[in-house]
Structure 1
Amino acid sequence: MTVAIDETHDPARTSWVASAQGHPDFPIQNLPLGVFSNGNGAPRGGIAIGDFILDLAALARSGLLDGAALQAAEAASGDTLNPLLALGTAPRRALRRSVSALLARDRPHRDAVAPMLHPAHTCALHLPARVGDYTDFYVGIHHATNVGLLFRPDNPLLPNYKHVPIGYHGRASSVRVSGTPVLRPHGQLKAPDAVAPTLAATRRLDYELELGVWIGTGNLPGSAIPIEEAGEYVAGLSLLNDWSARDVQAWEYQPLGPFLAKNFLTTVSPWIVTAEALAPFRIAQPPRPEGDPAPLPYLLDAGDQAQGALAITLEVTISSERMRAEGRAPLRLSRGPASNMYWTIAQMVAHHSVNGCDLNPGDLLGTGTISGPTRDTFGSLLELSRGGVEPVTLPTGETRAFLEDGDLLSMSGRMETEGLVSIGFGPCTGTVEPARKS
């Protein structure tokens, strides 16, 4: 995997967009891609810069771009980024470099570009791409171990975990953008001492802290993506929350895995932080513990091991309805590094395609829950409450073993490396609403 560092990452570069300076997520070094609308305008592609969104449809018509950058802006002018993602790395990078130059301080085109900026608070954000397929992996080894300990104390990790990136196909139709309400779902529930299951609203609603991986160019059916090339197929990342009904899951997941427990809603943050923006934050994949099996050759690449992980800090907060009414700040549930992944993103892509499965522009991969080794880094309430027996206490004195109606759950992520400007994803949020009558 080639990591390209260029002038767009220069920490000395600032923007004439004043709010970009010191912005926690969207300084000029980020320039993430998304889809927005404002007023009566149709949804179209945009780039976040500070507290504003740059209109790519307007930029494509402006005459300020040419070549591959113009091609990319035109591809992003519609209501989905799929055409842009399909173009691959070179046009996307050309667009990034051109936009960075146009927004940089002391550049001559400020007066021409300024009318193309829209205050973000006046805009609606949409799903950045049409998701044709969604696959959820299970690469967070601490989460897999913690959950395994709840159900199999003597053998928490199944024998295949350290040999193969485990995953399952999720429901693409229920992937929604941040802020979409979380309707408490129904499903079959069966208590351990019950004779038969019943249909009811879940009593164990949970979140899962994940990264979302957006596929750019795809592969042909029957072809496999070599691991050393897998990075070229990844357009960028977002935050992802794979909401889970744990009581439904416990009853239904054997023998075929999750179904209704997870297909009701998956939330993603609206901005795709591009592979180009992430380049300076690549770090070595943590070494496997001594005695662990080496990956099969199709999953092992020296370059990926050297730069396949990312310096991302992930955080989850909760705010109950009562906390908000009393003006209390959200409570942080967990905070930890995204490097707590046993398999890299490139390994996920290579494995997904090794049997000839074709990935397509706009496909979405979830990493699976990313947890750390200590309680303050756990990525789900199932782990934090140890299956519900040790509830979390909120500042109001309320307790949470699992999510209650009115709870606002928020995820954030920041890319940080010494000497560079930090960038972020923007929020990934959802508020739990009561179940509808079944």
Structure 2
Amino acid sequence: MPQQDPFDLAGAGGQAGGERVPHHLPYGVFTTPDEPGRRRIGVRHGDRVLDVHTAATALGSPHADILAHPTLNPLMAAGRPVWQAVRSSVTTWVGYPAIEPFLHPLDRVTLHLPFEVADYADFYSSEHHATNVGRIFRPQGAALPPNWKHLPIGYHGRAGTVVVSGTPVIRPAGQRRAADSPGPVFGPTQRLDIEAEVAFVVGTPSRPGERVPLADFPEHVFGVCLLNDWSARDIQSWEYLPLGPFLGKSFATSVSPWITPLDALDAARVAPPVRDPEPLPYLDDRAEPEPGGFDIRLAVTVNGHTVAEPPFSTMYWTAAQQLAHLTVNGATLRTGDLFASGTVSGPEPHQRGCLLELTWDGREPLDLPGGKRTYLEDGDEVTISGWAPGPEGTRIILGEVTGRVVAA
């Protein structure tokens, strides 16, 4: 088994002489108790957070100015050569004894949403998830719609309700209609669900009318984070025909406070599943130099009890294909755009990434230490965690995303 390595270290032997080499170094934004109004960019290094602007200034970095902002957006907009230069510098700095004054204990800082979200899009790219949903709602029909294996299906969500991990999730209200009711009623959702997802954060923008080909994915995507796309299934099922998700999805989307640089996941790249039929040329990734999938292992807990372990490596459509499709009509990318994978589910029952699948729409309740669950109750806390293989047998531990349900 790979060596457990929370967030930053490769373990002895990563360099000559047995030095411990930082391989992860995710970015976030934090404040300290003595300056609660001053947000700063930080890099996590084990159980501490590096104030990168202060360190960059003290060490004479040419990138100090873009690290002086209260969000990651200016750094993300600077482009991949700058991302790589800053990451290389930080990797060196954390080995200096002189860096100690710029490190803050993780348990003494407050973490914030690390970037300003421009647009938010959510995809539907797990064949296992889409098939299960089709079987639940269309038991007599085709599980997948006819377009599903030809394009990455997605929808645009509300950027303004993307919140950082730890933010309480207020139970949403809306219209819902029972199957045996002649009309809708209004009230709090009775079928509050989660969706375990992996999300990608855009750094470099694109120009109007410009398509982003598969090969340019690493030039535009700054990093990766875990995401929970909270869903009110009863509101969603009443409203989504014919235009798709709206109020059933727009009330809250939780993201991790830590953004893993894309380059930190090089060792986790894997080939995606075989596509049949062959995708159209702009989505055909068979000749790409790097495989488009990522071997990220997720875990979902409800009130501390693990209910699912979805494998991201099984996703039918990759993030590069999602980005190519998102821009193929000429739509622009903006710094801070967030696009998510859709629910991550695997072929086995314990690998299903939402309660809709795990309980088969409430027909097969989960047995939890606090009682049975079909959908979430007030007070329930959901945590999504994940890890990926790192260099030299290490693990890259992605930042958790947690939310607790509070009453409407």
- TM-score for the superposition, normalised by structure 1: 0.87
Query: Displacement, 1:302?
Result: 3.1
Query: Displacement, 1:300?
Result: 1.3
- Is contact 1:128–1:270 with CA below 8 Å preserved after alignment? yes
The 1:395/1:418 distance shift into structure 2, 3 A limit, reads: farther
Query: Displacement, 1:28?
Result: 2.1
Work out the CA distance in 1 between the residues paired with 2:323 and 2:298.
Answer: 22
- Is contact 1:284–1:308 with CA below 8 Å preserved after alignment? yes
Query: Displacement, 1:366?
Result: 0.8
| Residues 194-239 of structure 1, C-alpha deviations (whole Å, 9 max, x = no match) | 1211110000000000011100101101111111212221111000
Work out the CA distance in 1 between the residues paired with 2:12 and 2:285.
Answer: 34
Select which of 47, 50, 53 maps to 1:51: 47
Work out the CA distance in 1 between the residues paired with 2:288 and 2:235.
Answer: 37
Select which of 389, 393, 398 maps to 1:416: 389
| Residues 278-336 of structure 1, C-alpha deviations (whole Å, 9 max, x = no match) | 11211112223xxx2111101113354851111110110011xxxxxxxxxx2111113
1:90 is matched with 81
Q: Secondary structure at the match of 1:129?
A: coil
Query: Displacement, 1:419?
Result: 3.5
1:252 is matched with 239
1:28 is matched with 22
Q: Secondary structure at the match of 1:370?
A: coil
- Is contact 1:311–1:417 with CA below 8 Å preserved after alignment? no
Query: Displacement, 1:418?
Result: 7.8
- Where in structure 1 do 4 or more consecutive aligned residues deviate above 6 Å? none
Matched AA of 2:305? L
- Is contact 1:47–1:55 with CA below 8 Å preserved after alignment? yes
Work out the CA distance in 2 between the residues paired with 1:37 and 1:13.
Answer: 34
Work out the CA distance in 2 between the residues paired with 1:342 and 1:47.
Answer: 32
- Is contact 1:183–1:432 with CA below 8 Å preserved after alignment? yes
Residue 129 of structure 1 pairs with residue 115 of structure 2: yes
Work out the CA distance in 1 between the residues paired with 2:223 and 2:47.
Answer: 21
Work out the CA distance in 1 between the residues paired with 2:380 and 2:403.
Answer: 8
2:306 is matched with 332
2:3 is matched with none
Work out the CA distance in 2 between the residues paired with 1:244 and 1:413.
Answer: 21
Equivalent residues in 2 for 1:214-233 (5 A)? 214-233=201-220
2:71 is matched with 80
Matched AA of 2:133? V
Work out the CA distance in 1 between the residues paired with 2:244 and 2:13.
Answer: 48
Select which of 308, 317, 320 maps to 2:292: 308
2:277 is matched with 293
Q: Secondary structure at the match of 1:254?
A: coil
Residue 237 of structure 1 pairs with residue 233 of structure 2: no
Select which of 349, 358, 365 maps to 1:375: 349
Select which of 296, 301, 305 maps to 1:317: 301
Matched AA of 1:206? D
Residue 116 of structure 1 pairs with residue 107 of structure 2: no
Residue 163 of structure 1 pairs with residue 136 of structure 2: no
Equivalent residues in 2 for 1:171-250 (5 A)? 171-250=158-237
RMSD: 1.9
Work out the CA distance in 2 between the residues paired with 1:130 and 1:419.
Answer: 34
Residue 407 of structure 1 pairs with residue 380 of structure 2: yes
Work out the CA distance in 2 between the residues paired with 1:408 and 1:349.
Answer: 32
Query: Displacement, 1:420?
Result: 2.5
Work out the CA distance in 1 between the residues paired with 2:401 and 2:110.
Answer: 14
Q: Count how many residue pairs are aligned between Structure 1 and Structure 2.
A: 395
Q: Secondary structure at the match of 2:249?
A: coil
2:338 is matched with 364
1:276 is matched with 263
| Residues 408-428 of structure 1, C-alpha deviations (whole Å, 9 max, x = no match) | 100001012584221111210
1:3 is matched with none
Q: Secondary structure at the match of 1:314?
A: strand
Work out the CA distance in 2 between the residues paired with 1:367 and 1:48.
Answer: 25
2:404 is matched with 431
Equivalent residues in 2 for 1:131-146 (5 A)? 131-146=117-132
The 1:9/1:221 distance shift into structure 2, 3 A limit, reads: farther
Work out the CA distance in 2 between the residues paired with 1:264 and 1:10.
Answer: 39
2:4 is matched with none
1:101 is matched with 92
Work out the CA distance in 2 between the residues paired with 1:342 and 1:185.
Answer: 31
Work out the CA distance in 2 between the residues paired with 1:233 and 1:163.
Answer: 24
Residue 341 of structure 1 pairs with residue 315 of structure 2: yes
- Is contact 2:10–2:392 with CA below 8 Å preserved after alignment? no
- TM-score for the superposition, normalised by structure 2: 0.93
Work out the CA distance in 2 between the residues paired with 1:13 and 1:100.
Answer: 16
Work out the CA distance in 1 between the residues paired with 2:384 and 2:257.
Answer: 12
Residue 264 of structure 1 pairs with residue 251 of structure 2: yes
Q: Secondary structure at the match of 1:298?
A: helix
Structure 2, unmatched stretches of 5+, are 1-7
1:4 is matched with none
Query: Displacement, 1:65?
Result: 4.2
The 1:30/1:54 distance shift into structure 2, 3 A limit, reads: same
Query: Displacement, 1:90?
Result: 1.1
Select which of 32, 38, 50 maps to 2:32: 38
1:60 is matched with 56
Matched AA of 2:89? S
Q: Secondary structure at the match of 1:48?
A: strand
Matched AA of 2:375? F
The 1:9/1:408 distance shift into structure 2, 3 A limit, reads: closer
The 1:303/1:422 distance shift into structure 2, 3 A limit, reads: farther
- Is contact 2:195–2:342 with CA below 8 Å preserved after alignment? yes
Work out the CA distance in 2 between the residues paired with 1:81 and 1:309.
Answer: 25
